[in-house]
Amino acid sequence: MLLLQQAASVACYGGLMVISSLPPTLSPQPLSWRKKTPKIKMKSGQCIMRRALIISELELKPPPYSLNSLEPHLSRETLELHWGSHHRAHVARLNSLIAGTDLDGMGLDDIVIATYNKGSPRAPFVHAAEVWNHDFFWQSIKPNGGGQPSGKLMELIERDFGSFSRMLKEFENAALTQFGSGWVWLAYKANKLDVGNAVNPCPSEKDNKLIVLKSPNAVNPFVWDYSPLLCIDVWEHAYYLDYENRRDEYVAVFLEKLVSWEVVSHRLDIAIKRAADRAREDEKDS
Amino acid sequence: MALRAIFSKKTPVLASGFGAGSRCLRSGLCQARGVAAVALPDLPYDYSALEPTISGEIMRLHHQKHHQTYVANYNNALEQLETAVAKGDAPAVVRLQSAIKFNGGGHINHSIFWKNLKPVNEGGGEPPHTSLGWAIDTCFGSMEALVQKMNAEGAALQGSGWVWLSLDKGSKKLTVETTANQDPLVSKGANFVPLLGIDVWEHAYYLQYKNVRPDYLKNIWKVINWKYASEVYEKETA
């Protein structure tokens, strides 16, 4: 559970509890984060443990770098607000919505899929997905990022887009045409026909390939059973303090200076293995 | 007084240029094309005139950058549409619809929004003592109840969009509606007329209110132009 003083600084929109104050100044040092741990709560007033409540609460993961270390590309103030208020508020709200429900105790991935509910999202979805998206986003970037990918990732980029610069162009274009709030993704689309509420009777030419796609608000391609590799947050709060309305500049800087291609490569390795494992299972079943 | 304010002594025209005789407030843009292009309307007040409720910095960016971009992109899309229609290129016509809807909607919505706001020293925030005031009491119970409802719905809107006080010109009923992104109110109902719209995109408040959208909503009522809303209401219910 978030400490009360942290909870007191939560202020956000979307029907959440609001206390009108700015968040406390956060330490520039990354907090050591704890994995989700089940707590055993004693029923109050009981001397003997008659019944224990297991409460599993999701915790706010800090980025793997200090909040000022992405300067001058993303300011400390932006990180303090984006991670310290927006992301934090989604964690708090998600915990309060799932407490005592069938979702309590589930891992975040499972909560996202369950609450997406095959395209008819339940109330916790926006918060679960935003926690997922923001965790993913912070991991996708790093101080002194940018440069170019190599190895298998570069090979697939060249195979599926023609060239690295073409992929960047497509990614930028998607970011600039995501009308409203949302996210843009580089993802690996495996050959999986069941995509929830979508009707997909035939494998498409995009299977087992890298693709660029965009999603509105909190939706992410994870719910469509794709393997996301990289994302950029194009909600205005992600860039407005540093870039105002110049989303194009933010996207360019993100790609040139911030992306951690090592992380993207690592995710691709996992995605390919996952697709191969599933293909073997499908073969066994058929 | 700023130069802009002197010019705005004239009635500001929403230069949606359909055919000859339309005024265009930017250089030659409308006249140069055969299409029905639009232009950025001037604000009827200085950028800083809504302070401290909305900062001059936000107003300037909101008008000169965001709204201007919607205007430019809408005109661009219309030009491409004209070409596509002339060529009989149906896929291109369809492909252009999202840009037209988004940018055209952005232009429509913001043009209304600037008229929905007024400096305090020009009557901004003064509640309507008109037929609209009575209608609000009838439909919502009180002005406070309306404000509370609009604030709640505005705060709950996920992502970007608008919250509206809407008049159904068929039934003459007032309702609170929300639209996503830049969808205009009419996309919720063909009979819906916007009396008031509040922009809840982050760009409308972030520089000043950061992520505390509810504070922005609570404060914006201090500069709401009820006179404009009343005029629209009276015209539609006459």
A11 in contact with B, Cβ within 8 Å? yes
pLDDT value for A150: 96
Which CA distances in Å does B64 have to B60, B137, B238?
A: 6, 37, 36
pLDDT value for B98: 94
Residues in chain A closer than 8 A to B211 (CB atoms): 11-13, 81, 85-86, 89, 237
Cβ within 8 Å of residue A156, ≥6 positions away: A209, A210, A268
What does the alpha-carbon distance between residue A187 and residue A268 come to, in Å, rounded to a whole number?
9
Per DSSP, A83 falls in state I
User: If we measure between CA atoms, which residue out of B86, B66, B51 comes closest to residue B182?
Assistant: B66
**Cβ-count burial A32-51 (b if 16+ within 10 Å, e if not):** eeeeeeeeeeeeeeeeeeee
Residues in chain A closer than 8 A to B159 (CB atoms): 180-182, 216-218, 235
B102 in contact with A, Cβ within 8 Å? yes
Q: Which of A130, A179, A235 to mutate to test the interface with B (most CBs of B within 10 A)?
A: A179
Measured in angstroms, the CA of A151 and the nearest CA of chain B are apart by: 36
pLDDT value for A53: 54
Nearest CA in chain B to A241: B207
Across the beta sheet with B174-180, what order do the strands follow?
Answer: B174-180, B161-168, B192-199
Are the CB atoms for B116 and B196 separated by under 8 Å? yes
pLDDT value for A207: 77
Residues of chain A with pLDDT under 50: 1-51, 199-201
- Cα B18 from chain centre: 19
Measured in angstroms, the CA of A124 and the nearest CA of chain B are apart by: 12
Residues in chain A closer than 8 A to B201 (CB atoms): 180, 236
Are the CB atoms for B74 and B107 separated by under 8 Å? yes
pLDDT value for B212: 96
Residue range(s) in chain A whose domain bears CATH number 3.55.40.20: 76-283
CB pair distance less than 8 Å for B65 and A22: no
User: If we measure between CA atoms, which residue out of A82, A79, A74, A75 comes closest to residue A237?
Assistant: A82
Which CA distances in Å does A91 have to A112, A222, A278, B8?
A: 13, 19, 31, 47
Mean of pLDDT over chain A? 82
CB pair distance less than 8 Å for B66 and A22: no
Measured in angstroms, the CA of B235 and the nearest CA of chain A are apart by: 33
Q: Which of A9, A10, A12, A13 to mutate to test the interface with B (most CBs of B within 10 A)?
A: A13
pTM: predicted TM-score of the whole model, two decimal places = 0.82
CB pair distance less than 8 Å for A236 and B201: yes
Binding residues of B, as ranges, are 62, 110, 199, 203
Are the CB atoms for B223 and B120 separated by under 8 Å? yes
Q: Helix or strand or coil: residue A129?
A: helix
pLDDT tens digit sequence for B128-145 = 989 999 999 999 999 999
Neighbour count for residue A278 (Cβ, 10 Å): 14
Measured in angstroms, the CA of B182 and the nearest CA of chain A are apart by: 8
pLDDT value for B13: 31
Q: Which helix (H) or strand (E) holds B143?
A: helix B143-156
CA atoms within 13 A on the CB side of B139: 20
What does the alpha-carbon distance between residue A124 and residue B108 come to, in Å, rounded to a whole number?
33
What does the alpha-carbon distance between residue B126 and residue B63 come to, in Å, rounded to a whole number?
24
CA atoms within 13 A on the CB side of A148: 12
- Cα A160 from chain centre: 24
DSSP-H helix ranges across chain A: 4-8, 76-81, 88-98, 108-116, 125-140, 151-161, 164-176, 240-243, 247-253, 261-285
Nearest neighbour of B158 by CB, restricted to A14, A85, A245:
A14
Measured in angstroms, the CA of A12 and the nearest CA of chain B are apart by: 5
Instruction: Please report, in tens digits, the pLDDT of each residue of chain B (238 residues total).
Output: 433 433 333 333 333 333 333 344 444 345 445 567 999 999 999 999 999 999 999 999 999 999 999 999 999 999 999 999 999 999 999 999 999 999 999 999 999 999 999 999 999 999 998 999 999 999 999 999 999 999 999 999 999 999 999 999 999 999 999 999 999 999 999 999 999 999 999 999 999 999 999 999 999 999 999 999 999 999 999 9
A126 in contact with B, Cβ within 8 Å? yes
Tokens 């915990």 belong to residue: A95
Encoded tokens for B172: 């003459």
State the architecture of A76-283 in CATH terms: 3-Layer(bab) Sandwich (3.55)
Can you tell me the ipTM of this complex?
0.85
Encoded tokens for B75: 């005109």
B175 in contact with A, Cβ within 8 Å? no
Nearest CA in chain A to B102: A179
CA atoms within 13 A on the CB side of B184: 21
Measured in angstroms, the CA of A268 and the nearest CA of chain B are apart by: 29
Are the CB atoms for A232 and A251 separated by under 8 Å? yes
pLDDT value for B94: 98
Are the CB atoms for B92 and B80 separated by under 8 Å? yes
Residues in chain A closer than 8 A to B99 (CB atoms): 177
Nearest CA in chain B to A87: B211
pLDDT value for A276: 87
pLDDT value for A225: 84
B45 φ, ψ (degrees, to nearest 5): -160, 165
- How wide is the angle at C-alpha A166 spanned by C-alphas A162 and A168, nearest 5°? 135
